[in-house]
Amino acid sequence: MKNHFFYFVLTFLSASIFYQKPFLKVRSYVIRKTGVGLGVGVNIRPGHIFWPQKSMKNLKIGSGTFANFNFRVEMGTANVTIGEFCQIGPNVSVECVSHGLIYREAVGRGSASSDVKIGDKVWIGSNVTILGGVTIGDRAVIGSGSIVTKDVEADAIYFGVPAKKHCSIDDSYL
């Protein structure tokens, strides 16, 4: 019941008026109270939705990570781990839950959840969808509008529908 209260308060604090500096610490405090493992200096803009089936403790966000407006995580029973110093654009969606294709009278379509792991220093552009079962390697870049259906290598740039590797990131990009 306590977590439901904090989740209600968090939803209230998601209004854009509460993005002002004095409210950032309050928002982080409330997010932590819902059970999310939140690192130091995490900045999550308003409009986010964390949707667990079991517990908010299944979501861990590393220190220094920034998530822009309308960040959505549909966890179901899966674990979602986001590394340190990640940059997540607006309208990014992490969808861990999938449903069966065949409707069965007794159970409907059913559902299954798969974990998602996002490495450290990953940059995810706006309007990206990340599906369950995906691991994104450290320092990867995902282009805007992509749908990530398979694992992403570290130090690489991926974009498209579905997201595909377009090049590796090396010292020439510095």
Catalytic residues: 99
Do residues 152 and 136 lie in contact, with contact meaning Cβ atoms separated by under 8 Å? yes
Tell me how far apart the alpha carbons of residues 64 and 110 are, in angstroms, rounded to a whole number.
37
DSSP output for 70-92: T-EEEEET--EEE-TT-EE-TT-
